[in-house]
Structure 1
């Protein structure tokens, strides 16, 4: 924990004091912050498996790596618990502010409540005792402090403004990283507390903090800017001095003036220069090694052509503008056929088209920095098209983005660093629109048409101003939001249809059991058996579905059938009791027949025929066939569940023998831990892989329903069936990262694998 407790002064650094605590604004800010910070933590947790797996792969053959496997399982199982504990810790910080107090970040493993400090700086709790900290706890606390310090170093100015604005909302508190509930200190302490109950080794806990240190910065940058902008829009100290923008990246092109709106929303930009130098220096080495040692053999290097003069930056942009206007056939072929790296095809086209600018292609070369950018974009699109389920027209459309994205990479390499970069975000929404979209329905075709329109406008209008990506992103996102609402409606319909199906199955099984328990083993005439098994069964199912098994109507229906069976028993012993019982049966029988649409005179005929048949049995006579004939003529229609729209996708068959399931209890727990909205990859019995989303869990059978990207049901399976698939490696969690992030992660993995 922090060693010193400093008084929190009444006046903020801005020289202002809020007249009182602003609970409504604090509550809204808390909600906004919880959404942003929870998303940032979820992003990190989604990468834990890959990070631990990479460490396992790089471990020596004699090193014990079992604790990494155990840690992967433990963190997956406890993920929901970790996220809830994290949210609770952040929420507690805001709750203290609403009370005019501030909590000081506590890095102790227990994550217990921090010492409250009132607005005059008086510590309310006393330190009653001191205890020794174990070496392991000390190691974890140091890792948490290191995370806090690392995050704080990256956002000095921005955090200063957040401290002042949030402190003003809390009645004029002077906040810092240690007392701001969204500051690095509290975030690190919350992560420490949230993961403290996980049964993992010290080494894994330290790795987890290092992963947070590496991955959280970009997500926090987005979150802090959004929250600061939200506070400004809410009128909280809007006149604080604007943050000074930092300078750009490595190789500067012609500067682009930012719009006033962009400047206000962004307010400042972190210093990417050192990050960029380090990243691209490493990438330059990795790409050079990859070209020399690629699995398919050494690749040609255009920047090392003997006697060639590299194209100047503006010449490169001019050539790419020519290519952008119409995607060359060579690139189309490269997208469809991967026998040659896509980046090589781009470089060939660049040099061939240089002739149109008066440059001799035979003596032209490509600058090493530009070649790295082209290779990165080429590999990124190769992975994106291979990994994502983008086929047919969608594949062709995404392929048309290669040239403009090469152009962005040359102009603004922040695209590779900033998740909020407009070009990066536009690629994400376009890829989402094309993924699992065969264009079979009118809505899918309209979505692809919108994608095509956006890409055509990008290629036609993108010169050297990145602003076009912002406007197209806004337009495409709005359209995609409307499409998602349709998908959500389809998911709800699929869930309702499945629920209806299961309710019908449940009612059918219950009614069948009720009837069998009463007539099994009895000898009865065909007419009565038909009445009970068809009409009585149908009536009980209808009443059960409408009113429930505990309703009066259901009990009356049961009683009518039981009374009819009792009449049959009495008939076998003569007419004495039968004559008094028959009149009371009539209303109940008419209700049963009415459920099947038999009313009026038709119902009266059947009731008279049944009564006469019972009298015949009571007199010892053979029953007539009139009742059986009347009943057979108007059998009730079968009950069917609500229909759902035809998906055009066959139901996935997952397990062939459901009576002999072989699964591990641990896998059952993992399946039960899946939350609504989780994406997984399922492999059916034919080996077909499909990405599906958990959309609904049945409250009746506890079965899980998965849908595709159209919102159509793909499969419904029990927890045990899914545990079998998990054991067989046919069910895998799919980290639903945006397309750019997932592809870039794979590219870096590919480069590191070759360099290892």
Structure 2
């Protein structure tokens, strides 16, 4: 976006540019709304589980609920990827401002894909409803955005990047039709609408205050052309109009801010006031600066900003840093001093000013953690080192670079480290990803300082390539874990049925037909009820009651007998017949079996103790999930990456694709989605503890490293 620098009303110091103000709106929207994606999945899961536990009579509805629950679980395991899509979509909205994003605007003659048509059908009513509810507060922001747009020289009517339709579009882009079934997608959007209804009001109020404090007046739609012409006119031609626009009461004076200038920050949340973690890290860096106090005090002056930027640009163009193996901050300082010497600046006479020194320390510390905690090839490690230079420039220009609402630049850095981590340059697929990461890092290094477009552009290119790999891998791994889950469920159902059959047959003399029915058709009916409805369902209890009733009739026949036996037997015959039919017994065989059952009850027949075919199940379910397993599995989550170091060469990257709710078994797949390991939680934790598997943080390399830096800063270490 073209820059426009407004002048403060105090001492003439430089205020924020419109691009910086808009970026602060994007960051705040990300910080407030991004967590709603996970909350949406949580609310939908609770709703579906409540419906599943309810009295669902229709089998089709029950199947749909089970399918949606499985879909929510899959989405939850890939939540970070969906959050990245949401952030990417919102970044595109702000990047296109003041126009609407091209990807979201359709010509009247263009054809809509099925996904776009569905998104319009389910998204438009939600957007319109939210727009109506927040029309008043949003219109105030719209009027201030007219002024922002005019100050940048645009003459068209600007869109509101935080309008409800863009928020809905971002959500639908995060959970697209390929990742989410149509019914589940519409249901998730309804949950998201309710959450937006509760959060948009506060966000809009903050944005209005932020724009007002930055000095942007409210202007009507009809005033936009006047604003554009007056703010863009030469000073001698537009002074009267500009004075009227910025007269008292129409807008607040722009607030001074900036951690580089060190000036006071006025009331409000701008600049460093919105950077709590960055402030913490910079304060900690200043406490560690005493180790080099003699070097700083010996210098007669500090680097001027233009000198520092010139040295940084020249060093970056060399695409290398001195002193391989040293800490990144040391390498940056040494490289900058060396390049400055070529410009005629004696390193003994000049030192880095506090802001420059803070930035070098923070960027160096971040990259030290990234290099130490990941398995990188030597070439990738050196590329990561050179990347410190463009990120050093960002640290000086962007006070909020180290905050939790990570900008595209930090998202790209995380993604690059993920691609380099555990890569094998002898494997074709791994080599392809290495080339992709190297090309993106080269684009950042070769890019001009201050051109933030390179980060979302490279993110989009990497996402396009990874999306193809990811879809293929997900299809393979889904088939794998679904087969494992089906086998586990069948085994669990059979174990439970064996226990229930043994409880009825153990040490109890029964008629041969009764024992055969319990060990045959009744056992199968128990397995089917467990698989379809669960062990705690009414259907399972009904099948158990049928077996108990048959045992009671047999005991009654062995005792007094009489008409009571006939009455009880006639009462359960329909249920016995249904049990046989459900197990696949044809009608003729069912009639013959039930006739034999009735005949044995009516005539004196010897009884004996029947031993089930599957032996003694008294050991219970040895494969069930124990408390020890649950404790061991608590530190791992589906979707988490692991690096398996090679014995004498490169390692390989594995991913936790699925965790069994029955046994706790953890399925680890390779980059292609194929099964590599199936471990118990205890075995997985043991391998992570001894280094055979190195777990990677679920949040990503950069957020985890920044969290660690903040923890050290709080503890003073």
Tell me the TM-score normalised to structure 1 length.
0.42
Tell me the TM-score normalised to structure 2 length.
0.44
